[in-house]
Copies of this chain bind each other. A is one copy, B any other.
């Protein structure tokens, strides 16, 4: 493997394991050594990839949200005549995976917002932008659902997108400690099958 290729490979590995460990143990509960061991990168090499743990954390956040954005985006494109259905199916898909994972990790964004959202400026900014991107996409989907007549129009798409994201985050936290998918299922039902309709 080429030199530059390996460097990118290691960087990706660090980010992937960063997501896993930060989700399971939190930011302060995870040592760099654990992540480095998991991808066989020497400790001294870490700072060739990232300038600090804090900046690494910010990068992990961006790395984490990417698949969710592209998946939701795919759903919205696939069934562009039924945006509300696309959103419903997207979240239903997430719930299946959460159940498969036995409710171990919820959402990295939610966990890190609580843990370091107020203390690390760098991570706070990263969290802001990650959620903003996610919200904007959800908002555009809800706006189209309004045009298609499947979602009430007396609330702005932005307001509903924010409410859905916030409730989803809270439900994920509940899910973790209740070890049940009931909270997330109820979240989707209450909002997508009731409150957003009319």
Contacts and interface: CB of A to CB of B under 8 A. Distances in A.
A58 interface: no
Interface in A143-183: 159, 162-163, 165-171, 173-174, 176-178, 183
A178 B119 CA distance: 13
A115 B176 CA distance: 10
A117 interface: yes
Contacts of A27: 26, 28-29
B111 A174 contact: no
A49 interface: no
A174 B166 contact: yes
Contact of A168 (B127, B168, B170, B183): B170
B28 A174 contact: no
A58 to B, nearest CB: 12
A79 interface: no
A28 B110 CA distance: 16
Interface of A: 24-29, 103-106, 110-119, 124, 127-128, 131, 159, 162-163, 165-171, 173-174, 176-178, 183, 186-187, 190, 194-195
A183 B170 CA distance: 13
Contacts of A178: 128
A113 B177 contact: yes
A128 B180 CA distance: 12
Nearest to A168: B170
Given A167-B166, A167-B167, A173 B119 contact: no
A11 to B, nearest CB: 25
A59 to B, nearest CB: 17
